[in-house]
Structure 1
């Protein structure tokens, strides 16, 4: 990079203690820089970059760069305890792909051992195309995915080559730009990453083993990549299978409700390995707190997606729930399907019956198999019922459900939710510095009721002692005794949330509906002393069954930043794989190497971005009754 193309970042102790770096001074190691970057709208933005893990870090679990081709034999295994291969696989390691700007990235390719042409499925991410910095073994209980469920050839969150090659597919596992040995700087989605995915798909379609039809699969980051890359309309991308992933990075994860949250991005950043620089998105979160050109570039072009899509969502993912439903609803494809599960993204993705279901989808659109896939119900819905039995795969025609009846539950001074508002104006308040700075409102159901869809809290608020408020709103189910019901698998409560920095309360009236407020995020309107303002706080979609006597609890609380340990300890698991040859026969004595390191192994801990202090001070006052039309709008679903 030329000197004119970057500014060094100040390493002062004050800036570091705030978790924010200021441009101007030079780091001795040049561990952090800014670079001008052109966004999709043509505007140039100075984007922060910094160094991530070196490839030598144990936590990175990096593979050496070595181009080679080998046949992985049927019956061999990648790891002790993993599923044996059911067929021979031609494995091409570190195949170079040259992108339109001359940058070379590297991809692994798994394909049938023949000279025929096959469809391919690409899994796009920077996590490492072999083991890499994130792996299911890092997650408690492997998130319910037995090691024997897959071969271990898969990259994290991606399709298992052992299964798909046996079904006549090619699996393409790239390390995206800047990841591991791939050239360039590592980017988070956006226009650059999308174009790189486009180029790789078009490269793959020209290979002699390709039938010209490429699909995409995988969950989380790999799903977000699908929304973005498909939005660029690569001619040979024939179908996608987004399995839980957001579409609007600002609104759905980084600055949800306008509140900067760098904790999750920072935890993920610390698992990335690169020879070059990595986009310092955690720092962009805390320095670009409005929906500017940078964040506009992080919104997928859903309006451009006309190809078939098999979309999988859940109601319980704190990062992906809203975006997955939004993606399904907003893409104009006439061939789209939605399945809503009741477990977690990883367990659902690798469940054998769901793998078979996905194969039927890809067989139809990538192979042209007449298998009646198009007769699959357009929506298969789960409805959660903690304490009882969930509804799974209920056939519906659309989402949200057309038969939904929206009902207003009014907030009362008695801290209940009622069918009518109080005649007199009342106030409810809490001290933001209290041990539990929150207020609960409860409704007891007099009959069995299903609430499935979007919720909106419309209320009037006032700040006593501050010019802003940061609110966290939660809706959850309680049993007949008013106790939280935990999930029998995760032992965690099931709930849906909404967030708001009140200064960013302005609505985009063209996109908002009564049940789904959409915020502009283009300005801040700070509060004046004694000012009472109406706010709409969208609560992510939920499908929940309440039985007579059970309760719905609405909690309005002062926002508390999440703790750093909310991100799994990625990179810590020790993974033993063959030192040479990639797979081996079960029971065979072979030289092994162990990959994995310490969770605390961070490239530059002094540059870690911490959650900024909240704007909450003094008291939060909620106005109800009389002229204050404060209510929770809920989606009541009558039985068919």
Structure 2
């Protein structure tokens, strides 16, 4: 226990050194209720003001407008295909008395309709994050949608045309909604439950509510559906994690606040915002706070249309895990080969999702139940990807798990080398890594979960932080860029070796899941076995092509890897929300400031890595070190 306390204290001190707060700090610890209503202390701080340029917020103004067919939200966007009734800033009172504001888009009639809710804190109109901020709009043309949609959410113009109501809340604390802005967890799940039950009683509702959207809006679905609102009839999670600690914040036990900090800086609130970046670097074990950030996906029994990919660095693992753990009798999985935003707004995929919701929210007998349960993409850089291959399950039942052993000649081989050997690298060298390759002697498909088993030693440190990656190389040994994005594709794993303890109850033969409830620091000369989970991948290798395994010292990612949210300047009408191109209208331009930060002195930076000295990999003989690959027969 003394050893554990020393480790946690050292982590906290490291945080304090790398992220000192000034005398003008806005950081405070506040009571926070977790699932069992127990109160714990959680850091909060100030984010963007709701009137900040970067926030691209909207005035609080309760009104009902009729958006006319053929009108435009912005130049270049798709014209509205029908009249839409727009109810702006409708107040919803949650069970604790907090009032949040939602926007409603509905058909211009007096009928009862199903509704689809898109839950996030990004802004229910333009907001601090937008596709225009992403290079090339991630491949989504401006005229693919109407511009009425909130970020990562369904386009009201498409759905209202087909008789749906779109509900866009500003979640607790976001923009003008009351309270402090929070990240997922049981409080957000209860808020979503309350909003769904409110929606089901409205005069325009047929009593059935669905949920849809990417990323944050998918994570929200896992949490809210896990609370089992009676009127939530179907969900469509389109890439989103289920376990915030294990899958993003402290993956492999390594605190990584870089991406969460970049996202935090886009949030706007009248009040405070849960300082999750600070929780990441101060709460480095899976404690009560992080347990509350695991969605109760095992409670989900309603129909679900789940969409995943192999290439999302935040959501890949959680999407597959969510699909496998939900208890729905009616669930479908589709794995695409592009990116979440591009895939979501593709016309054929919107139509596919419409068939799903038509069946479960409208009761249409449209044959959706005959849709294949699993449709996979198999990536094949340098050749043609396989898309929508029909399967029965994931991972595939016909998988053969095979071992490739590490060898001192930088190869992966099919049997363990006889002699005890070592491969090492220095942390401060130009190339702090070791790479091993395997050449396929026939066409081979590797689809599913990979696992790396190593025997490691740290010289000059009491811990190691590792990043491992698997990628496809050409027959000449060169990385092969993806045809669609131009990027190379890797499947990755991470590990802070002191948190190597495996949770035997949650793990499987092909996937180790770590406990993260304590740390075992390394002693001088100690050699320890570790299992590193590598996220799912579907990849075709042709005869002569190579599989590359790289083991390297972990380095924190760059904030520059996150899109410059808030940078795009977006022009919209000053009045009436949409406009007729034949009539003059005054426009206003919002955004254009991606460097604006609510509390600059309180920014959280990545703590210093624990890597020092030299990493030694023990292989062969008594030290079997191998990569487990899922070969499809």
Q: TM range, normalised to the smaller chain?
A: over 0.9
Deviation at 1:43, TM superposition (A): 4.1
Distance 2:38 2:62 in 1: 39
Which of 605, 616, 621 lines up with 1:626 in the alignment? 621
Distance 2:270 2:123 in 1: 13
SS in 1 for 2:564: coil
Deviation at 1:615, TM superposition (A): 0.2
- Matched with 1:216 is 211
- Matched with 1:323 is 318
Instruction: Give 1:46-125 correspondences, 5 Å limit.
Output: 46-125=41-120
- Matched with 2:245 is 250
Distance 1:324 1:586 in 2: 42
Instruction: Give 1:512-523 correspondences, 5 Å limit.
Output: 512-523=507-518
Moved more, 167-176 or 505-514: 505-514
- Matched with 2:10 is none
- Matched with 1:156 is 151
Which of 546, 566, 570 lines up with 1:575 in the alignment? 570
Which of 6, 9, 34 lines up with 1:39 in the alignment? 34
Structure 1 alignment gaps of length 5 or more: 1-12
- Matched with 2:272 is 277
SS in 2 for 1:565: helix
Distance 1:434 1:207 in 2: 64
| 2:551 is the counterpart of 1:556 | yes
Which of 276, 289, 296 lines up with 1:301 in the alignment? 296
Distance 1:429 1:194 in 2: 47
SS in 1 for 2:237: strand
Q: Is the 8 A contact 2:14 2:607 kept in 1?
A: no
- Matched with 2:595 is 600
Deviation at 1:587, TM superposition (A): 4.5
| 2:14 is the counterpart of 1:19 | no
SS in 1 for 2:289: helix
Distance 2:134 2:501 in 1: 39
Q: Is the 8 A contact 1:385 1:545 kept in 2?
A: yes
Q: Is the 8 A contact 1:444 1:549 kept in 2?
A: yes
Q: Is the 8 A contact 2:15 2:281 kept in 1?
A: no
Deviation at 1:39, TM superposition (A): 1.6
Deviation at 1:586, TM superposition (A): 2.4
How far does the alpha carbon of each residue in 1:444-470 deviate from its partner, in whole angstroms, 9 at most, with x for none?
000000000000001100000000000
Moved more, 409-418 or 222-231: 409-418
Instruction: Give 1:377-396 correspondences, 5 Å limit.
Output: 377-396=372-391
Q: Is the 8 A contact 1:178 1:187 kept in 2?
A: yes
SS in 2 for 1:460: strand
Q: Is the 8 A contact 2:33 2:187 kept in 1?
A: no
SS in 1 for 2:143: helix
Distance 1:206 1:358 in 2: 25
Distance 1:170 1:134 in 2: 23
Q: Is the 8 A contact 1:444 1:551 kept in 2?
A: yes
Calculate the aligned-residue CA RMSD, in Å. Answer: 1.2
Q: TM-score, with normalisation over the residues of structure 1?
A: 0.96
Distance 1:211 1:44 in 2: 37
User: Aligned in 2, Cα 1:15/1:622: closer, same or farther, shift over 3 Å?
Assistant: closer
Distance 1:527 1:290 in 2: 17
Q: Is the 8 A contact 2:45 2:272 kept in 1?
A: yes
Distance 1:475 1:288 in 2: 30
- Matched with 1:429 is 424
Residues paired across the two proteins, number: 621
How far does the alpha carbon of each residue in 1:74-98 deviate from its partner, in whole angstroms, 9 at most, with x for none?
0000000000001000000000000
Deviation at 1:197, TM superposition (A): 0.3
- Matched with 2:134 is 139
Distance 1:477 1:99 in 2: 50
Deviation at 1:511, TM superposition (A): 1.3
| 2:536 is the counterpart of 1:541 | yes
Instruction: Give 1:167-316 correspondences, 5 Å limit.
Output: 167-316=162-311
How far does the alpha carbon of each residue in 1:19-76 deviate from its partner, in whole angstroms, 9 at most, with x for none?
255xxxx954x62211021222454321000000001110000000000001000000
Which of 582, 586, 609 lines up with 2:581 in the alignment? 586
- Matched with 1:496 is 491
Which of 329, 338, 355 lines up with 2:333 in the alignment? 338
- Matched with 2:409 is 414
How far does the alpha carbon of each residue in 1:558-606 deviate from its partner, in whole angstroms, 9 at most, with x for none?
0010011111000010000000000011243200111103111111111
Distance 1:113 1:293 in 2: 47
Deviation at 1:14, TM superposition (A): 10
| 2:453 is the counterpart of 1:474 | no
SS in 1 for 2:191: helix
- Matched with 1:372 is 367
Q: Is the 8 A contact 1:16 1:607 kept in 2?
A: no
- Matched with 2:7 is none
Q: Is the 8 A contact 1:16 1:606 kept in 2?
A: no
How far does the alpha carbon of each residue in 1:278-335 deviate from its partner, in whole angstroms, 9 at most, with x for none?
0000000000000000000000001100000000000000000000000000001000
Deviation at 1:17, TM superposition (A): 5.1
Distance 1:539 1:17 in 2: 32
Distance 1:306 1:179 in 2: 30
Structure 2 alignment gaps of length 5 or more: 1-12
Which of 502, 522, 540 lines up with 1:527 in the alignment? 522
Q: Is the 8 A contact 1:20 1:286 kept in 2?
A: no
Deviation at 1:492, TM superposition (A): 1.1
